[in-house]
Amino acid sequence: MTDEPTTTGAEPRRLLPTATAAQTWAALRAEFARLPGLSAAAVTLLVAASATGLVAPWVLGRLVDDVIAGSGTARIVAWAGVIAGAAVLAGLLTAAGAAIAARLGETVLARLRERVLDRALHLPSATLERAGTGDLIARAGDDVAVVTNVITTSGPAFVGALLSTVLTAVGLFALDWRLGLAGLTAAPMYALALRWYLKWSVPYYARERVATGERSQAMAGALRGAATVRAYRMEDAHVARIADRSATARDLSLEIFGLHTRFGLRINRSEFVGLAAVLLAGFLLVRNGLSTVGAATSAALYFHRLFNPIGLLLLQSDAVLQAGASLARLVGVTSLPGADGPASVPSQPSTTKGEAEPAALEVVVAQHRYDDGPVVLRDVQLRLAPGERVALVGASGAGKSTLASIAAGIIAPADGSVRLRGVPLSHLGEHRVRREIALISQEVHVFAGLLRDDLRLADPDATDAEMTAALDLVGATSWLRTLPDGLDTGVGEGGRQLTAGQAQQLALARLVLADPTVAILDEATAEAGSAGARDLDRAAVAATEGRTTLVVAHRLTQAATADRVVVLEHGRVTEEGTHDELLEAGGGYSQLWRSWSSADLVAPSKPLA
């Protein structure tokens, strides 16, 4: 092996935890303990199958001794009958054991998968926001696939091989400890062979995965853009690129094949040394009258019997190690705390000393930055009175969305706090916060399924009348009427595609059904046409009527209709007051308004910078 394996580079920072080996084992044990009958049956059958496999070599040894002692044919036939019976029994037990072990593995895996998904979907939004969804999707997808593959394909065989190896080694020592020790001389060679294999196989497999991924990507890219490829006569270049990627993947597969061959050679060498040692020890023991030819024969057969299980264990070791690593990442997710915080939720709003009425929502951010990035918010204090409508205005990148996410409890400020009627959000627990504060962010998602189900995400008990009323309130009745099956129409992927404006209305209708006390709107409806934008503004006002509302103003008309306007510049509050007060003050906001409203005569829904 001359070429050095490429390292895969620094791993991206993982914010979701990975369980330790001890935690992973504990989680696995707990899962198996929940299925005591199935676990006991699998272990019993697999142990019995391996033990029955020991009968034939032992009987063959006895048979050799009997032949030497000149026993009659009847005895030999009887031994042959025992061997045949043991072989049939071992076959039956192995088949039954493997079937039950597979069922056990599948059940444990299914439960683990459910727990990972359950935990992932209930993760506190702050954790999810910090970790990003990529890692979670990789765990719920790739890691589950790796573990599934091992559990369903090589898992039962691996466990069977492990048991066979242990029991055969015990049998070898039970036969004669000196013969057992002779067999052990192969152990260091096996260990060295394994170390050599793992050193090369892990980086090789990683490179192979990258290479096959690139090959698929090159092919998919060329096929997806087939029309463009043809239009620009780039067929040859694309075929050449695919051929190049294929050649890389093929060469790596061949090198891995060569790696296996060389590993096989090393295993064969270990087997040779071990078997030779057992035979030599047997010869010496028999010559000195310390053992019988039969016992030495059985020992040699036992050792020979180890070839297959040890080979299997060694060849599968990398897959099992990878599955172990994936399992640790899955168990890491399941050990995360749930979405609910401390149970003690103060029933009465607490008032800060000296204040007549507690703010419905109070956001104090001394400073906020994303990880090690620059400071994006500094010295921001935002108090929203009950039912008040506040608009956040500022240029792109000023920190409006960040402040909105902090106010909604989606991300925690690096240094600061958010209080709902005087109670810190951290004391309320995720469920309560989600019930009280709703955020409509810039990415409005229409879930694939019936319109009814999409609405019921906000309130599972909503009646048809309530859903229709909510859609009516946000001005969606006109398109609701055009749907062939009304609330039972399929929407989203695979169903009726909603326009950006309709998706926004759906999100607002969900907000009405969820009925939170605080609404935070960061919807960018600028892509809607001017009439559509005005409709959405009206819909947003109707949906948030009576609620304490923070609106990230993507158009200044949203600010003009708010009770108060807060202007953010480079993460700081530079102006604050009613629309009229700020116009009178003649600051940045009034300039912005003047230039915007004069341009607005031409394009009334022009988005803010």
Ligand X SMILES: Nc1ncnc2c1ncn2[C@@H]1O[C@H](COP(=O)(O)OP(=O)(O)OP(=O)(O)O)[C@@H](O)[C@H]1O
Residues in contact with ligand X by the rule CB under 6 A: 370, 373, 376, 394, 396-402
Give strand ranges (E) for 20-164. none
How far are the Cα atoms of 55, 86, 98, 282 from residue 66, in angstroms, in the given order? 16, 19, 36, 18
Least CB distance from residue 375 to ligand X, whole Å? 9
Strand-pair partners of 440? 521
Shorter beta-carbon distance to ligand X: residue 159 or 540: 540
> Least distance in Å: CB of 443 to ligand X?
11
Pairing mode of beta strands 548-552, 518-521: parallel
245 or 555, CB closer to ligand X? 555
113 or 570: CB nearest ligand X = 570
- Asked if residues 511 and 543 have their Cβ atoms less than 8 Å apart, the reply is yes
What are phi and psi for residue 422, nearest 5 degrees? Answer: 85, -10
CA distance 509 to 239: 50
Distance CA 586, CA 567 (A): 13
Nearer to ligand X, 132 or 486 (CB): 132
Q: Taking the complex as a whole, how short is the minimal distance between the CB of residue 377 and ligand X, in angstroms? A: 8
- Output the smallest distance, CB 208 to ligand X, in A: 34
Alpha helices in 288-399 (DSSP H): 293-334
Residue partners of 321: CB distance under 8 A and separation at least 6: 198, 202
* CA-to-CA dists, residue 53 to 83, 312, 577, angstroms: 9, 17, 86
CB of 607 to ligand X, least distance (A): 9
**Looking at beta carbons only, is 300 or 519 nearer to ligand X?**
519
Q: What count of other Cβ atoms lies within 10 Å of the Cβ of residue 239?
A: 13
Nearer Cβ to ligand X (410/423): 410
Q: How far is the CB of 492 from ligand X (least distance, A)?
A: 24
Q: Which of 136/323 has CB closer to ligand X?
A: 136
Give the span between the Cα atoms of 592 and 558, in whole angstroms: 14
In the complex, the smallest distance separating the C-beta of residue 410 from ligand X, rounded to whole angstroms, is 11
Closest contact distance (angstroms) between CB of 402 and ligand X is: 3
Q: What type of residue is 502?
A: Q
Helix 55-68 / helix 155-175 crossing angle, nearest 10 deg: 30
Report the residue number, 106 or 576, with the smaller CB distance to ligand X: 576
